[in-house]
Amino acid sequence: MRATLLQDDGTITVDEVPVPDLSEPTDALVRVTHSAVCGSDLHLLHGFARRPGGRRMGHEAVGVVEAVGADVVSVAVGDVVIVPFSWSDGTCSFCREGTTTSCVRGGDFLMAPSALQAELARVPEADGTLVVVPADVEEEMMPSLLTLADVYLTGHHAVVAGGAGPGSTVVVIGDGAVGLSTVLAARHRGAERIVLLGRHADRTDLGVEFGATDVVPGRGDDAVDAVREITRGEGAHVVVDAVGELATYATALDTVRPGGVVSRVGVPRYDDAPLGLAPVFRRNVTVTGGVAPVRAYVDEVLPRVLDGTIRPGRVFDRELPLSEAAEAYRLMDSREALKVLLRP
Amino acid sequence: MRATLLQDDGTITVDEVPVPDLSEPTDALVRVTHSAVCGSDLHLLHGFARRPGGRRMGHEAVGVVEAVGADVVSVAVGDVVIVPFSWSDGTCSFCREGTTTSCVRGGDFLMAPSALQAELARVPEADGTLVVVPADVEEEMMPSLLTLADVYLTGHHAVVAGGAGPGSTVVVIGDGAVGLSTVLAARHRGAERIVLLGRHADRTDLGVEFGATDVVPGRGDDAVDAVREITRGEGAHVVVDAVGELATYATALDTVRPGGVVSRVGVPRYDDAPLGLAPVFRRNVTVTGGVAPVRAYVDEVLPRVLDGTIRPGRVFDRELPLSEAAEAYRLMDSREALKVLLRP
């Protein structure tokens, strides 16, 4: 079968690889119908965690179950399923508490040999991991379902962890697909004012359609001043860092109000960061967020996608066949595309 | 009137100072009947923020209202009142949200010229700040009421901010008066397992009486191993850092479970601290807490003190007249006393 590989020299190729098999009785084999390129794939492209001989890429997918192991009971051959970016058994302490990304039998397609920009995928812990969707779902719904594998529910996680809801002012730093998903999730959960910090008008325009009430260009001191003005000098209840740089964390601290929350869903590209008396402790600022436990949220959000209440699939502005994965990465990396859907 | 002063040379004296007056119509004048020495007073003793000519000390008090400004409506002369360690108007956005320590008209007796180890205290924003207690409260109740000015409700804040409740495992780092108050608050809120990390058996014994289910000596690697064993390798739902050193923050990260919360109420004596991918973000650890907004909690907790459900005043193991304030500081600083009550 064909799969996307990141080669040692940093090029993206689509090559023949061995067909995966059911190596555990809890596995399922899924024929991928829709996959995607994510910002975290670009981190790999730029040299993080390369693997000699090439590494498999992709961690977002929707597909059809092709085979199931002997112990699998909740999905059957032919089911249309969402494959969240990490697998989880659904039964361990952490899964029961909603932190499925820390499942004791879990793992991450981002770092796994069985990654999802491919024709077929082996999915471990199929009962805990896969989410069955109605078989008669229309094709135009598929991009939105695909966002439930990662990007929309990452934004949703930012909003839930941050405790945003009716009456909240939410600042979202970053106008990539995660930032825009955060805007949509904040609106869906009833936030009163949603301020999007972003530099790309075509993206922030979609942010406004998703529910941003204010757009502030950039992320620096001017942006901080603008947020302060919008919030009558008080700062926002929740600031979502959808970028992950030390500078965006600093902007978050500068724009959050006393008693407010900085919610991080951009993977931090720093180890230490300010947590001291003046910017955080004296002001009772909470720092939360993390790798989104997508699986814990799907059951709640899926009905709202299926009934058309939210259309998170609008973050996909390009679609390419799997064979053109290299072009998909180029479009994402150059920011010509917001998010690219790949069809195996 | 007499008041406690920290002199330039680091000595504690009790000197005559001018009687405070009602400089604002929202002020009240309180005759202090009970005050206390706090760990944060010791930080001042050790050289933080000294003031030429001496600085007034003390930020915890119970007393009797002696005079009120023209605009004060909720307290009257003769009322017995708790004076929380910071004043707040009770009406601004932050007060309404429960972050009274960030009140726009607020301030802090810890840093104020009108500090509370004194015979009389000027209390700004008296309507928002003061808490009236029944006039017929017995003397033996007074130490517990005094803890509602700071120390018990600081522990309570750690527990509430951390979200601890029934089913929770809570680790408390530090066996000072704040740590022990945290144990009591965790028990009162129904935490299932409360692990106290402390080095002083006389203090951890009180911790056990307050509700600690496990005592682990020390705070280092051995303590981390012990907590891991107690929590079946999973870590605690909430870890309270009641100390505030970089090392205790590290211990908190090492003992908190994925999806758990590090709740800080020890003033951090560091600026930057680990917030990166592996210890925090990947595991969805939340960092919360801060300066306790005591005033926001008093109304809820006071009835439980008055009816004897909780007896937080047991943290006071010594009582001295105000004239012996220097000895009170010595006893606290040498750890001969857990917490000293001062009577003006």
Q: Is A132 helix (H, G, I), strand (E, B) or coil?
A: strand
pLDDT of residue B268: 96
Instruction: Write out the two tokens for B172.
Output: 């408390």
| Contact criterion met (CB < 8 Å) for B273 and A272 | yes
Contact state of B275 with A287 under an 8 Å Cβ cutoff: yes
User: Which of the pair, B42 or B185, is modelled with greater confidence?
Assistant: B185
Q: Which residue of B has its CA nearest to A263?
A: B286
pLDDT, residue A50, reads 67
Express each pLDDT in B153-168 by its tens digit.
999 999 999 999 999 9
Average pLDDT over residues A20-34: 97
Tell me what pLDDT residue A142 has: 97
pLDDT digits (tens, 9 = 90+) for A169-200: 999 999 999 999 999 999 999 999 999 999 99
> For A39-62, what is the mean pLDDT?
84
Q: Is A96 on the interface with B (CB under 8 A)?
A: no
Q: Grade residue A19 by pLDDT with cuts at 50, 70 and 90.
A: very high
**Type of residue at A236:** A
- At residue B220, the pLDDT reads 86
Task: Confirm if B294 and B149 have CB atoms less than 8 A apart.
Answer: yes
Range B3-10 average pLDDT: 91
Query: Touching check for A166 and chain B: CB below 8 Å?
Result: no
Q: Which of A102, A234, A258 sits opposite B284 (nearest CB)?
A: A102
CA-nearest residue to A276 within chain B is B271
**A residues 241-260 closer than 8 Å to B (CB):** 249, 257-259
Q: Please name which of B106, B151, B154 lies closest in space to residue B129, comparing C-alpha atoms.
A: B106
Residue A50 phi/psi, 5-degree rounding, is -70, 160
Q: A99-108, B218-227, B235-244, B309-318: which range is least confident on average?
A: B218-227
- Say yes or no: A98 contacts chain B, CB-CB below 8 A: yes
Of residues A53 and B181, the one with the higher pLDDT is B181
- pLDDT per position as a tens digit, B185-213: 999 999 999 999 999 999 999 999 999 99
Name the one residue in this structure whose structure tokens are 């740089």. Answer: A245
All structural domains of chain A with their residue ranges? 2-150+293-343, 155-289
**Local structure of A39: helix, strand or coil:** helix
> How sure is the predictor about A316, in pLDDT bands with cuts at 50, 70 and 90?
very high
Q: Which helix (H) or strand (E) holds A95?
A: helix A93-96
pLDDT at B340: 98
User: Would you place residue A115 in the very low, low, confident or very high pLDDT band (cuts 50, 70, 90)?
Assistant: very high
* Closest B-chain CA to A162: B286
**Its pTM surpasses 0.95:** yes
- Looking at the predicted structure, is the pLDDT value of residue A161 above 80? yes
Percent of chain B scored above 90 by pLDDT?
91
Interval B279-318: pLDDT, tens: 999 999 999 999 999 999 999 999 999 999 999 999 999 9
Confidence label for B47 from pLDDT (cuts 50, 70 and 90): confident
CA atoms within 13 A on the CB side of B337: 22
Round the average pLDDT of chain B to a whole number and report it. Answer: 96
CATH topology of domain B2-150+293-343: Quinone Oxidoreductase; Chain A, domain 1 (3.90.180)
In this prediction the ipTM stands at: 0.97
Nearest-5° Cα angle at B244, B242 to B250: 100
Averaged pLDDT for residues A16-24: 95
Contacts with B274 from chain A: Cβ below 8 Å: 271-272
Q: For B154-289, give the CATH class.
A: alpha beta
Two tokens, residue B342:
């001062």
Average pLDDT on A104-119 reads 91
The residue written with tokens 């109000």 in the block is A257
Helix, coil or strand: residue B91: coil
pLDDT-derived band of residue B50, with 50, 70 and 90 as boundaries? low
CATH superfamily entry for domain A155-289: NAD(P)-binding Rossmann-like Domain (3.40.50.720)
Among B271, B291, B297, most A C-beta atoms within 10 A, so best to mutate, is: B271
Contact B127, B75 (CB under 8 A): yes
Question: How far is the alpha carbon of B43 from chain A, nearest alpha carbon, in Å?
Answer: 14
Listed residue (B96, B37, B86) closest to A167, CA to CA? B96
| Residue B335 phi, psi dihedral angles, 5° rounding | 65, 20
- Taking the C-alpha atoms of residue A195 and residue A155, their distance in angstroms, rounded to an integer, is 14
Smallest Cβ distance to A102: which of B94, B259, B276?
Answer: B259
Write the pLDDT tens digit of every residue in B264-273: 999 999 999 9
Average pLDDT over residues B209-232: 95
Tokens 């969707």 correspond to A133
CA distance B267 to B110: 13
pLDDT for B48 equals: 63
Task: Supply the mean pLDDT for chain A.
Answer: 96
Q: Is the pLDDT of residue B319 over 80?
A: yes
Rg over alpha carbons for chain B, rounded to the nearest Å, is 20
In angstroms, what CA-CA distances link B133 with B86, B117, B302?
18, 20, 8
B234 and A281 within 8 Å at the Cβ level: the answer is no
